[in-house]
Amino acid sequence: MKKVISTTKAPAAIGPYSQAIEVNGRIYTSGMIAINPETGEIPEDLIAQATQAFTNLKNLLEAAGTSLDNVVKTTVFIKDMNDFAKINEEYSKFFTKDFPARSCVEVARLPKDVLLEIEAVAIKA
């Protein structure tokens, strides 16, 4: 059985999808972008966007009853592969040990013209 996960501490869905879904103790998140859920604003700076997107993911996972420590897979979508090292640096502030498997791909465009988006699969521990 699937359970819809939602929180006001992460951006609301922009379209017809859920922030996250739980199935059999696994959490599947939608892509988190750098919208500040309190103000609706998006920072312009890459590092500020990464921080906000990763914070949104953290908040969503906590609402689901898990944490970044229980993430097993992430996918990071970035607008410019030249930003890979900078995004990695910020990513490593949120994922500090037993790193999840990860894919990182450059894409032509992201929702709201943000510079990155992250989605994750986590387990409940």
Please tell me the distance from the alpha carbon of residue 51 to that of residue 104, in angstroms, as a whole number: 17
Torsion of CA 58, 63, 66, 68, to 10 degrees: 0
Report the chain's terminal Cα–Cα distance, integer Å: 18
If one looks up domain 2-123 in CATH, what number appears? 3.30.1330.40
Q: In the chain, where are the structural domains located?
A: 2-123
Catalytically active residues are 104
Residue 125: predicted pLDDT: 80
pLDDT of 50 reads: 98
pLDDT in tens, the chain (125 residues): 999 999 999 999 989 999 999 999 999 999 999 999 999 999 999 999 999 999 999 999 999 999 999 999 999 999 999 999 999 999 999 999 999 999 999 999 999 999 999 999 999 98
- Tokens linked to 79: 């607008």
The residue whose two tokens read 């097993």 is 72
For residue 9, what pLDDT is reported?
Answer: 97
User: Nearest 5°: CA angle at 101, between 96 and 105?
Assistant: 105
The four Cα atoms 80, 82, 84, 87 give a dihedral, to 10 degrees, of -70
Q: Enter the pTM of the model.
A: 0.97
Q: What would the pLDDT profile of 96-124 be if each residue is shown by its tens digit?
A: 999 999 999 999 999 999 999 999 999 99
